[in-house]
Amino acid sequence: MSTKSKCLYAFKDLECEVGIDEAGRGPVLGPMVYGCCFWPLSVRDEMKKTYGFTDSKQLSEADRDRLFADINSINHSQLGYFVSILHSEYLSNTMLAEFDNGGKNLNKISHDTAIELINRVKDAGIIVRKVILDTVGQPEKYVGILRAALKDPSIEIVVESKADFNHPVVSAASICAKVTRDQVLRDWQYPEKKQIDSEFGCGYPGDPKAKQWLKRNFDPVFGFPTLVRFSWKTCSTILEDNKANVEWFDPVVQPQNFGASDGKKQKTLGFGKTVTQKDADDLQKVSQKERENNRGLKNMKVKRNFQI
């Protein structure tokens, strides 16, 4: 059975445009969420006129929620959408890793996520004829990256600044991304075993509330809660200025004597220890909170990919 015969979208036989935008690229905490919306090329003007899609940053929270409800009400019949949620822990680990060990900068993460979303739309059986994206880096270079990855000359690729304002399909994608990110933050259950408040304001590095929250919830040994992007300069500065200094001594063992005892006792740290019942119970509690975070998104009926 072909992919198209499995397509769940009523407009599967029509040529479509795809819009992609993100929410939460700049904040020091919370996920970066990519939204992807698609509909037939023939209904572009109708969608703009009927629903008034525009850049999510120009809308109030109430208007964004209303439009997201509209998007869900016509999902599969007149349009489709996906979101990809890139959690702080994933961003931190990926951006701090060495490039030869899977590390990526934020632009590379953004490019790869956009490509994955476009391919997901194609895999859903949609005839993609045009993709429109807000630029990340130089527009011409981004077009080249997309062209090389998609390997489909029949697709028109448009990359420009303010695409979320100029193109309704990108506006709709930005609404999906923004509403999803806000919902993740509202429903977030901290897996850390300590009381952590959520008074972090907008979460941007320059926000005084965010700065105070970071300092208030900083641990000199473990750093910040997993909601925080450790790779951001704001965080690294706090870490450098306030971290606990740890010193330990480990006698040098010559290669020929490797494994032999020199009579000195060395304290074994907590790596590789046997997992006790208490350890297992604690892990279960963390897993339960992660499930609660995911359940909150499921209740929104959000189609999402998780990077955790």
**Residue 123 annotated as lining a ligand binding site:** no
Cα of first residue to Cα of last residue in the chain, in angstroms, is 33
Amino acid at 214: L
According to the annotation, is 21 in a ligand binding site? yes
Q: How far apart are CA 159 and CA 143, in angstroms?
A: 6
Identify the DSSP state of 18.
Answer: E
- Determine the distance from the C-alpha atom of residue 110 to the mean position of all C-alpha atoms in its chain, rounded to a whole number: 9
Give me the phi and psi of 177, to 5 degrees please: -70, -45
Measure the CA–CA gap between 183 and 165, rounded to whole angstroms. Answer: 23
Contacts of 201 (CB under 8 A, 6+ apart): 207, 208, 209, 210, 213
Asked if 34 and 84 count as a contact pair (C-beta separation under 8 A), the reply is yes
Q: How far apart are CA 145 and CA 134, in angstroms?
A: 14
Binding residue positions for a divalent metal cation: 21-22, 134
Q: Which positions make up the binding site?
A: 21-22, 134
